[in-house]
Structure 1
Amino acid sequence: MSTALQLLPEWVKQEAVILAWPDHDTDWRPWLADVRQVYLTIIEALNAANTGVILLVKATEVEACKTQLGKDAKVLLLVADYNDTWVRDYGFLTCTSSSGMQPLEFTFNGWGDKFDARKDNLANRNHLAPLCQLPLTTVDLVAEGGALEIDAEGHLLSTQFCLTNPKRNGALSLDSYREVFKQYLGASQVSIFEQGHLEGDDTDGHIDTLVRFTPDKGLVVQSAFNRPADQHFAGLAALVAECKAAMPEHKIFQLPLPEIFNPDGDRLPASYANYLICNQHVLCPVYQQPEDQLAVDIMQTAYPDFTIVPINCLPLVQQFGSLHCISMQVPQNTLKPEIVQQLNAGVSQR
C-alpha cells in the first residue's frame, strides 16, 4: 500500500447513510408494505440526525418510491441494480488516508455462496464509487461489513465461525486475516471470538449481531441473561466471558435476548446489538417484544451522550436481519461536494 489506511469507527461524523429500497423482486415480497414503512421511518430518523440518505433504487421503482418519501426528505435516489438490500455487507467501507477519505471494498459472495450476490458485488464500482472524492480500493478477499467492528484505537473485532467458512476464503488462516485487516483497515489489534451465534443467522455469526464498541471503552454484548433456559444462553454467556478476557478494561453492557419465531416455526435471529450509530443518535432495533424497553434502557446507559431512537424492526427480522444489516454509513468528507449539496436539497435522482 502506498498510503496507510485506517477504518473509522461508526460514531465519527457522517454525511450520509446508504440504503437499498426493497421491491417485489427481493425476498421482502411477502412483507413489502411493512418493510417499506420501516425504511421510511429509518430515513426520517436519519434526516432528524442531520444525515442524508443515498437510496439505491431500481429504475422501475423510482417514481413509486418518490411518492412515499416526505417532500422535505433529504434523499438521493441512485438508480441501480442489486440482488438484495443488505447494504452493510456489500457497501463500501471508509478509511482515512493521507489522500483523504478512502472508499474500500472486499468481495461479497452472498455469505459464502448461500445466495446469488453478483449484482450486489458490482454495486460499489458501478453505482457508489462515482459519488466519492477518491477512487475505490478493492481488496482481494471475501468479507462483509457486518463481520467487522472497530474502535477509535484500531481494535478490530470479528468472529471465527464467519471467517473460517471455507466458501469465503478457502482455508485462509486467522493469522492471515489479521494481516489483511492490519494492512488494509489499519487494525492495531484483532480479536476474533469463538463463541456466540444466533439461530437462523445466515451470516455465520456476524459481529454486528453480537458485540459492539462504545466510544468510551464499553462493549455492548447480545447476551441471553434474561433467558437461562434458552438454547443460546450458554454460548452467549461464553461470549461475554471471552469479551471480558480479551478486554478487561472495558465495561460490559449485556442486552436481553428476545424470542421470536416466524409462522413456519423458525427461530428468528433478533438482536438488539444490530443498531446503527449516526451523528450522536443510536437507531436501536426493537421487535414489539417484552424485552424492548429494557434493551433501550441499557442502550441509553451504554451511550449516555447519544439520543436513542427505537425503530420497530420486527418486519426486518422476518428475513433474518435487522437495522444495521440494511445500512452503511458514509463519514464526512467522503462524497464529492456536489453530491453532498444534492443530498441536502431534498428528494433528487441521479
Structure 2
Amino acid sequence: MIIPQIISTWICVAQPTGLNVPELVYPEGSETPRFLTKEEQRFIQRYPIQAPLRGNVEAPTGDVHCVAEYEPADAIMLAWEGFSSIVAEMAANITTVGEAKAIIVVDSTSEQSAALSQINSYGGDTSRVEFVVRTTDTVWIRDYGPRYIYENGCRAIIDHTYNRPRPNDNALNSHLAPLLGHGYYEIPLIHGGGNFHLNAYDYGWATELIVDENPSLNETQIRDYWSEFQNLDVTITDAFPTSVDYTQHIDMWMCWASDTTCVISDWPYDVNSIQDQICDATASTLEFLGYTVVRIPARSENWTHYTYANSVICNDLVLVPSYSNSQVSQHNQEAVYGWQQACPDKTIVSIPCEDIVGSAGVMHCICMHVPKHSGGALPTAYLQYPNGGEILIANQSVQIKWLADDDEGIEEVNIEYSGDTGSTWEMIAQQIPHTGSYNWTVPDQNTAFGWIRVTAIDGDSIAMTDYGDSFFEIIGGTVLGDVTGDGLINVTDILVVMANWGPCVGNCPTDLNNDGQTSVSDLLIVISNW
C-alpha cells in the first residue's frame, strides 16, 4: 500500500504576542490521511500542541448527559474535504433512510453547489441538507468536530484541542456553537474524537492514547475531566500497535449499538495477536457486566486496518463499510449479519469504503452526530449565572449567562430581575438576540433576595423561562424601602409612601418597583425591608 502524504507548506501568522508562529496549510482536495503525516510529525516536534490551561476554562454547572450516538439524531455533520463520493452517499442515506439532516461544512459556495448536486445524484433528500460555509483542513470531522451534551435540557458542545496541527479543523467548534445557538465548553485535553465511545448510561471508553497525548496529566486527572465536563465514567483500554492501526482510536474496533449492546471487532486471521487480545478482553469485561457483545470480523492487510466496527448509526439507519480487497470482501456480508443482530430494528446499508480505508479511517471517522433538541417543539432554557448564592456589589458589571435551545432555533431572549423574592420584576433586557450572555450593571440596593429569570422565545412565539435556583445578595449604598434616604426604614417611610399614593409625575422615589405609580406594592417593599 502507498501511504498518502499531505502536500502542504508552512506559513507564518502574526499572533497577538507579536511572535511569528507557523501554521500548516492544507491544499483543497489533498485528501489528507487521518494519521499524522511525516511533515506533521516534524511540525509538532518543533511546535508541540498545547491544550488550554485549566484555570482559563469553565465546566458545565447544570445537570449533564453526554449523548450516545444511537440516541435520536437531528443531524449528521460532514466535511466536504475529499472522498466526496463516500460523503455524498452517506448524506443521501442520512437524509432519507435516517430521516435526519445532513449538515455539510464546505469551504465556499461553489463547493456547496457541487456537494448538493452529488448528494442529489445518490438520491438524497436535498431539502434536509444544510451547509456551513467555513474552511476546514480535512475530512476527519469525528476527530475535531462537536461532541454534544445536554445541560439542563439544552444542547452544548464540548470542544477539545485537536491532536493534529490542523488549525482550521481545530477552530471549527468555536464557530459552530454561536452559529447553531448551542452552548460551548473547552475541555483541557488534547484529543482525537475518534478515540472515544460511550453509551447512554454515562459510561465511556477510550484507549491509552489519551494518556500519551496529555503528558502533563495522569490517567485519573484525564478521567476526572471527562467526569467534570461530560458526566462520564470513562474506562481507558490498551491501544492497538501502530503497525495495525496508525491512529490507535477506539472507534476502529468498538461501537455501541444500544443501551445493552456493543459491537466489537474479532480477528479470525490474527488469533491471539495483541489487537485480538485487546478486543477479547474488552468483550469479556462487558459481557461480565451484563452487556450483549456482537463480534464482527476485522483484518489487517498490507498496513491497512479493515474494520466493520467503524460504522455510523443514525436513528433507524446503520451505515456499514464494505471493501473490494480480495482478502477482505468475503467478510462484507458477515459484517452486515452482525450489525443486523446488534440492531434488529434498523436498516443496514453498505457503502463501499475501499478508497478511504487506506487513510486510516472509514465512515464513523468522517461524521459527527448532532442530537435532537430535548424539548420537542418547546424551547428549553437554563440560567447559568447568577444562579443563586452569589454576593454582588452595587454598580459592578456582571455577565448574566444562560443556555437556550429549540428545535427550530431561539428568536429572542428576555432577562428580568427581582430584588424582593419575585414579588415584582424589572426588565433588564427585552427581545435581545440569543447570544448566551449579557452585561448587567447591578442596581444600587441592599437585598438578600436578588433573583434573575431568563425567558427564551422561539419562532412560534413559544416561551420557556428558567429562574435562578436560589437568591443572591446585593451589597449596595441604597437601602431598598428607605424612601427618605436617612439610612433607616421605619414608619416615616410608610407615611411618605402613603402621602405620594397614585400615578407618578416626574421624579418619584416612592415608586420602588418602577411601575409608574406609588401603590400597595411599594408599601409592601417598605414593610418587607423594615
TM-score bracket for this pair, using the shorter chain length: 0.7 to 0.9
Call closer, same or farther: CA 1:302–1:337 in 2, change over 3 Å: closer
Summarize the alignment of residues 6-85 of structure 1 with structure 2, pairs less than 5 Å apart.
Answer: 6-23=65-82, 35-48=83-96, 49-59=98-108, 61-70=111-120, 72-73=125-126, 74-85=128-139
Quote the residue 1:150 is aligned against: 198
Quote the residue 2:256 is aligned against: 213
2:279 to 231, 239, 263: 239
Quote the residue 2:514 is aligned against: none
Q: Is the 8 A contact 2:78 2:102 kept in 1?
A: yes
Quote the residue 2:168 is aligned against: 119
Quote the residue 1:347 is aligned against: none
Structure 1 portions without partners, runs of 5+? 24-34, 111-115, 262-266, 341-350
TM-aligned CA deviation for residue 191 of structure 1 = 1.5
Q: Is the 8 A contact 1:191 1:246 kept in 2?
A: no
Summarize the alignment of residues 167-316 of structure 1 with structure 2, pairs less than 5 Å apart.
Answer: 168-187=213-232, 189-194=233-238, 196-197=240-241, 199=243, 201-203=245-247, 205-224=248-267, 226-228=268-270, 233-245=273-285, 247-248=287-288, 249-261=290-302, 267-288=303-324, 289-316=329-356
Deviation digits for residues 184-209 of structure 1, max 9, x if unmatched? Answer: 1111x322111544635332x11111
- Paired with 2:144 and 2:87, the residues of 1 have a C-alpha distance of 18
Q: Is the 8 A contact 1:131 1:336 kept in 2?
A: no
Q: Is the 8 A contact 2:67 2:150 kept in 1?
A: yes
- Paired with 1:247 and 1:3, the residues of 2 have a C-alpha distance of 33
Instruction: Give the structure with the larger helix fraction.
Output: 1
Q: In structure 2, the residue corresponding to 1:146 is in which secondary structure?
A: coil
TM-aligned CA deviation for residue 7 of structure 1 = 0.8
Structure 2 portions without partners, runs of 5+? 1-59, 375-404, 411-530
Call closer, same or farther: CA 1:200–1:22 in 2, change over 3 Å: farther
TM-score (norm 1): 0.82
- Paired with 1:243 and 1:174, the residues of 2 have a C-alpha distance of 22
- Paired with 1:302 and 1:337, the residues of 2 have a C-alpha distance of 30
Q: Which amino acid aligns with 1:18?
A: M
State the structure with bigger RCO (CA 8 A, min sep 6), 1 or 2. 1
- Paired with 1:196 and 1:145, the residues of 2 have a C-alpha distance of 17
- Paired with 1:129 and 1:62, the residues of 2 have a C-alpha distance of 21
Q: Which amino acid aligns with 1:306?
A: K
Q: Which amino acid aligns with 2:223?
A: R
Deviates more, 1:98-107 or 1:236-245: 236-245
Q: In structure 1, the residue corresponding to 2:330 is in which secondary structure?
A: coil
Q: Which amino acid aligns with 1:255?
A: I
Aligned: 1:100 with 2:159: no
Deviates more, 1:208-217 or 1:9-18: 208-217
TM-aligned CA deviation for residue 252 of structure 1 = 2.1
Deviates more, 1:249-258 or 1:66-75: 66-75
**RMSD over aligned Cα, in angstroms?**
2.3
TM-aligned CA deviation for residue 99 of structure 1 = 5.0
Deviation digits for residues 28-85 of structure 1, max 9, x if unmatched? Answer: xxxxxxx221111111110111111111111153333343231842211211111111
TM-aligned CA deviation for residue 221 of structure 1 = 0.9
2:371 to 319, 328, 331: 331
- Paired with 1:246 and 1:215, the residues of 2 have a C-alpha distance of 13
Instruction: Give the structure with the larger strand fraction.
Output: 2
Q: In structure 2, the residue corresponding to 1:164 is in which secondary structure?
A: helix
Matched length: 310
TM-score (norm 2): 0.55
Deviation digits for residues 282-332 of structure 1, max 9, x if unmatched? Answer: 111111211111111111111112211111111111211100000001000
Q: In structure 2, the residue corresponding to 1:145 is in which secondary structure?
A: coil
TM-aligned CA deviation for residue 280 of structure 1 = 1.6
Q: Is the 8 A contact 1:223 1:233 kept in 2?
A: no
Q: Is the 8 A contact 2:254 2:264 kept in 1?
A: yes
Q: In structure 2, the residue corresponding to 1:46 is in which secondary structure?
A: helix
Q: Is the 8 A contact 1:196 1:210 kept in 2?
A: no
Deviation digits for residues 146-192 of structure 1, max 9, x if unmatched? Answer: 111111111111111x1122xx22241111111111111111x3221
Q: Which amino acid aligns with 1:76?
A: E
Call closer, same or farther: CA 1:119–1:242 in 2, change over 3 Å: same
Call closer, same or farther: CA 1:174–1:302 in 2, change over 3 Å: same
Quote the residue 1:348 is aligned against: none
Of structures 1 and 2, the larger Rg is shown by 2
